[in-house]
Amino acid sequence: MKKYGMILAGSALFLVTACVEETGQPMESAFAAEVNCVAKTNEIVGVSGSSVSDTTRLEDGYSLLMTVPGAEQPWVCETDLAGNTKDVFYLGEG
């Protein structure tokens, strides 16, 4: 069992190390941006079930297009490079 666990740990380390974008930013920050934006959008709108439909890497962070249950237009969530939510706003009227 111990040898098997060591093999898995080594494989996981390889996968994390291999997940680096061309910009040098870990893929983890894009994942953090998605997780944080879903949570913050759900909190602001007062729903559950929001999802990310598109993620754009910006110079200073990420811009995520959000699909929100019951909303006619998408919401946008902006984050810093680490994936921390900076702003959430609605693209429609009202």
Instruction: Give me 64's structure tokens.
Output: 């995520």
What is the structure's pLDDT at 73?
Answer: 97
Query: Is 50 exceeded by the pLDDT of residue 14?
Result: no
Query: Looking at per-residue confidence, does 57 or 5 come out higher?
Result: 57
- Residue 13's Cβ-count burial label (10 Å; 0-12, 13-18, 19+) is exposed
Share of the chain above pLDDT 70, in %: 70
Share of the chain above pLDDT 90, in %: 67
The domain locations on the chain are: 25-90
> What average pLDDT does range 9-23 have in this prediction?
39
Number of Cβ atoms within 10 Å of the Cβ of 74:
16
- 73-90 pLDDT, tens digit per residue, is 999 999 999 999 999 999
Q: Is-contact 86 80, C-beta < 8 A? A: yes
